[in-house]
Amino acid sequence: MISRIWHGWTTPANADAYERLLRTEIFPGILARKIAGFCTIDLLRRNAGDEVEFITVMLFDSLDAVIAFAGPNYEEGVVPPKARAVLSRFDAASQHYEVIDTRHN
């Protein structure tokens, strides 16, 4: 399993709009693609002084599934124009980790 992690930051004034965009357009759009090997996407948010940080954590069955999502340059961040309009800054590249252990209570 592969975890794809990406960070983006907004101003506090744009944070709710960005979260709404993710929840109502971007995430549903990803789910609608029905990418083979895509498992989940989680959204994290925290106030960080004069910014609001967002992290997305996506899980895929394999690197091939990541490539199906992001394309051959899979390390590049996938940031639609509407998201770029409200983000102050963002990771140009996503980080990919092999998930070696998961435990649930």
Pairing assessment for the beta strands 38-48 and 51-60 based on DSSP bridges: antiparallel
**Domains of the chain with CATH codes:** 2-98 (3.30.70.100)
pLDDT on residue 93: 97
Residue 81: partners with Cβ closer than 8 Å, 6 or more residues away: none
* Cβ atoms of residues 15 and 29 within 8 Å: no
What is the per-residue pLDDT across 11-49, written as a single tens digit (0 to 9) for each?
999 999 999 999 999 999 999 999 999 999 999 999 999
| Total-model pTM | 0.93
